[in-house]
Structure 1
Amino acid sequence: MKLIPTLALALLVAAFAASAADKSPVWTDPVKAAQEDPDFIVQGEYGLNREGASVGVQVVALGDGKFDAYVLEGGLPGLGWTKEKKRVRLSGAREGDLVKFAEAGGFSAEIRDDRLSLYSNGGSVVEFPKIERRSPTLGMRPPEGAVVLFDGSSADEWEKGKVADGLLAATGCLSKKKFKDCTIHLEFRTPYKPKARGQQRGNSGVYYGGRWETQVLDSFGLDGKMNECGGIYSIAAPKLNMCFPPLSWQTYDVELTDARFDEDGKRTAWPRITVKLNGVVVHDDVELNKDGTTACPVKGPLTDEGNPLFLQNHGNPVFYRNIWVVEK
């Protein structure tokens, strides 16, 4: 199996950057990001990698030594924090070998050597190590009978698919096969773009049936809106923002129930979807109650012919791997 060499990956990244609306610096390799931008090492999650913590902290790099920190009551997302619990944003910046965060909402903080000290107004201090979480389904092998759409060897299962260093680029590729009721597994990685904001920060999307999008975006630390990672674009916000930091490999595990039709081909029920982002349910049996979401490539009335997968090109170097489908 011959893979496109590293030079091709660099050319793909350059092509993505040229098509992007902003001119922000971008990294697609975590090793280079750590070597070239010290802010990348600071960004991440601080707390306990288990349930039962009183708080957790997510630190987001904003470029030029500036950061936001989000103090989350009950622990990190998926380990205790929910949208109903307290969330406090702190603003910080480098001061010598420290990153200091000004007081807000009863908290202040500082980071030194991969440890965060969180101070409260009452005078107490709690120290947290930096942790790196992994999705429990990361690297999951396709079960017997699965349809493997991408295993790193070729893009033969895709229209307009491009492979670089064993990864499938988000070049607007559409699967050649169509599926009805099925389970879908895929893994994705967003770039590190600390100076970018909003929809320019690692944007892509997975369209089921080429119509309904679960957003792919570097939404680490953000609110968890409909147009952020885990959201079903223009239909539903995720229950929880389970987005990991950029350049982490992340997973979508999806149960798709196709639309239903009568003998005359008339639709009798909309499709439904259950979505896990990094192993946590963010949508539970949600009705996809329109013919397509924003910018969907497949148009027109629904049919009983099955559904392809589409990986959106939004001008950002987002990459995918380990994509397979189990038909029911």
Structure 2
Amino acid sequence: MTCRTVLIFIALATAAPSFATAADHPPTDPKATEQWQPVPKVVTPGKHDAAPPSDAVVLFDGRDLDRWESTSDHSPARWKVHDGVLTVDKKAGNIQTRQRFRNYQLHLEWQVPADIAGEGQARGNSGLFLASTGSGDAGYELQIMDSWNNPTYVNGQAASVYKQMPPLVNAMRPPGAWQTYDVIWTAPVFAADGALTSPAYVTVVHNGVLVQNHTALAGETVYVGKPAYTPYTDAPIKLQAHGDPSQPISFRNIWVRPLD
């Protein structure tokens, strides 16, 4: 090795970064990796998995629609409450929560009638809008419909992000059975000038089965064309009265945990 080669080798060795390994600094005190603060707050779980925990906002408990309004004019919601459940009234239009939310955990149960008729998208169609950004069907829709032995386009079947992302699997129970959605919604983030800095994400468990895994949305739901984002800060949660003759869809046990 020449003198010049030795000098180059020494220079490279000196300039190269060094990375510590566990062997370089063996732990001597297990308490050094213990974290004591901040202490997580206590949340009391429900008596069963579907029951609201102590910090939940109960949106529908089977008794009234006090927390809901019509999307068209913000008048009191006029869907039918009976026998502890809430049933769509297509003449009354869509309904949404009076309270606005940003990031949240949501539990919702829904039922397609046992004697459902029709096929494809005309078979028990409704929708859960995770953020209602305007009247009508504006917002971000998680599809609700009967996908039990009912072929349709896959990004329009139950548990799809409508017209964007099919579910990972079809976890439908047959008509007449109660279906459950457990949703984690992460709202999109916008800069001061309205530019999107982080997309919306949704995770959905349908009847105990993971069907959307931190899915990134391309924008708001549209029936024709490509989705796009419109800036917003917080929004109501909306339920759709689709208007198909094969309705009515029913709902029960709806609660939400704000995560902001």
Q: TM-score, normalised by structure 1?
A: 0.53
Question: Which residue number in structure 2 is paired with residue 215 of structure 1?
Answer: 143
- Counterpart-to-counterpart distance in 1, 2:82 and 2:249: 12
| Residue 310 to residue 212, structure 1, CA distance change in 2 (3 Å) | same
* Matched residue SS, 1:199: helix
State whether structure 2 residue 104 is matched by structure 1 residue 182.
yes
Which residue pairs with 2:65 in the alignment? 155
Task: Quickly say closer, same or farther: Cα 1:252–1:301, change in 2 above 3 A.
Answer: same
Q: Within the alignment, does 1:142 sit opposite 2:70 as a pair?
A: no
The one-letter code matched in structure 1 to 2:230 is: P
1:277 aligns with 2:206: yes
Pick the aligned partner of 2:240 from 312, 320, 323.
Answer: 312
* Residue 203 of structure 1: how far off its partner (Å): 1.2
CA 1:264/1:314 → structure 2, altered by over 3 Å: closer, same or farther?
Answer: closer
For the pair shown, the structure with the greater C-alpha radius of gyration is 2
Residues 129-186 of structure 1: per-residue CA shift (max 9 Å, x gap): xxxxxxxx98711111111110011101111332222212224211111111110000
The aligned amino acid for 1:307 is A
Secondary structure of the residue that 2:62 maps to in structure 1?
Answer: coil
1:71-150 aligned at under 5 Å gives the runs 140-150=50-60
Aligned pair partner of 2:157 in 216, 221, 228: 228
How far does the alpha carbon of each residue in 1:218-246 deviate from its partner, in whole angstroms, 9 at most, with x for none?
A: 11134581111111111111110001100
Q: Which moved more, 1:241-250 or 1:138-147?
A: 138-147
Bigger proportion of residues as strand:
1
Of structures 1 and 2, the one with the larger relative CO (CA 8 A, separation 6+) is 2
CA distance in 1, matches of 2:104, 2:150: 30
- How far is 1:294 from its partner? 3.3
Classify 1:279/1:214 alpha carbon distance in 2 versus 1 (closer, same or farther; 3 Å): same
Task: Please tell me whether the aligned partners of residues 218 and 229 of structure 2 are also in contact (alpha carbons under 8 angstroms).
Answer: no
Distance 1:200 1:228 in 2: 11
- Deviation, 1:300, is 8.0
Whether the 8 Å contact between 2:160 and 2:167 is mirrored in structure 1 is: yes
Structure 2, unpaired ranges of 5+: 1-46, 71-76, 133-138
Alpha-carbon distance in 1 for matches of 2:123, 2:239: 16
CA separation in 2, counterparts of 1:175 and 1:221?
32
Mark the CA change 1:267 to 1:300 in structure 2 (over 3 Å): closer, same or farther. Answer: closer
Equivalent residue pairs, number? 188
Cα pair distance change 1:242/1:235, threshold 3 Å? same
- 288 and 138 in structure 1: CA distance in 2 versus 1, 3 angstrom threshold: farther
Q: Structure 1's 256 and 269: CA in aligned 2 closer, same or farther, altered over 3 A?
A: same
- Following superposition, the deviation at residue 263 of structure 1 comes to 4.3
Q: 1:168 aligns with which of 56, 81, 86?
A: 86
CA distance in 1 between counterparts of 2:163 and 2:145 reads 15
Q: Which 5+ residue runs of structure 1 have no aligned equivalent?
A: 1-136
Is the contact made by 1:291 and 1:302 (CA closer than 8 Å) also made in structure 2? no
Measured in 1, the distance between the counterparts of 2:69 and 2:149 equals 34
How far does residue 309 in structure 1 lie from its aligned partner after superposition? Answer: 1.1
Residue 204 of structure 1 and its aligned partner are, at CA, apart by 0.9
Give SS of 1:240's match.
coil
Moved over 4 A (4+): none
SS at match of 1:152: coil
SS in structure 1 at match of 2:142:
strand
Identity of counterpart residues, as a percentage? 35
| 1:65-122 per-position Cα deviation (integer Å, ceiling 9, x unaligned) | xxxxxxxxxxxxxxxxxxxxxxxxxxxxxxxxxxxxxxxxxxxxxxxxxxxxxxxxxx
TM-score (norm 2): 0.67
